[in-house]
Amino acid sequence: MAFLTKIKLSSVNNLSDARYAAAVGIDYIGFCFDHTHPQYIAPIKAKEMMDWITGSFLVAEFGNQSLESIIDISDVLGVEIIEVDNNLLPEQLTQLNKSIIKKIDVTLLSNELLKNVLQAYDGVCDSFHFYASRQLTPEELTNCISFIQDYKIIWGIPLDIHTLSNFVLQHHPYAIHLASGEEERAGIRDFDDLTSILETLTIEETE
């Protein structure tokens, strides 16, 4: 498949999701190593899945963990991209020697503070993953959209599936973030919802 923008699928914790994502051509496949996250996966299990994947970039996703822990796990996995959701300073992140995605809860920052964070980390981070822990006001949403022009924004703020493709065509985010799901049982997974979203983002082929 060819999509209107890049796609990142996060928190993959089963082989069904991993293989599906790679097969349909999702650009970034993330595995969550934040112990507090409900879809945490042990590094050794993630490594087994990663060995099945070709054609997609693998992302090690971390929460508020120490720099040493992030380095140790990412080196063992051999990933080249790290996503961080923490307050490590730009000079600390440079010690990772990887491509970095900085995850930002936009509800915690005023527009001016968000701008300052983006400017401070722009030289260190390859892209920024915007998400929202509550529903945004129309003004807050507009402010977040305004940053797409100047930064590589992975858009993780919820959008209605019916307006998703129009949003991408109008604003051109660097990528759209999608969350993986859970298997019904080992090896059994319903991909209908994910497939529907991807279909709205698929470039239609012309004769």
The pLDDT value recorded for residue 185 is 43
Alpha-carbon gap, residue 74 to 64, rounded angstroms: 15
Which positions of the chain have pLDDT values less than 70? 181-190, 205-207
pTM of the complete model: 0.93
pLDDT tens column, 17-65:
999 999 999 999 999 999 999 999 999 999 999 998 999 999 999 999 9
Residue 131: strand, helix, or coil: strand
The pLDDT value recorded for residue 207 is 52
Q: Which amino acid is at 35?
A: H
Give CA 72 to chain center in angstroms.
21
pLDDT tens column, 195-207:
999 999 998 765 5
Phi-psi region of 158 (alpha: psi -120 to 50; beta: other; left: phi over 0): beta
Alpha-carbon gap, residue 10 to 131, rounded angstroms: 12
- Given the candidates 3.40.50.1820, 3.40.640.10, 3.40.50.300, 3.20.20.70, the CATH classification of the domain at 6-200 is 3.20.20.70
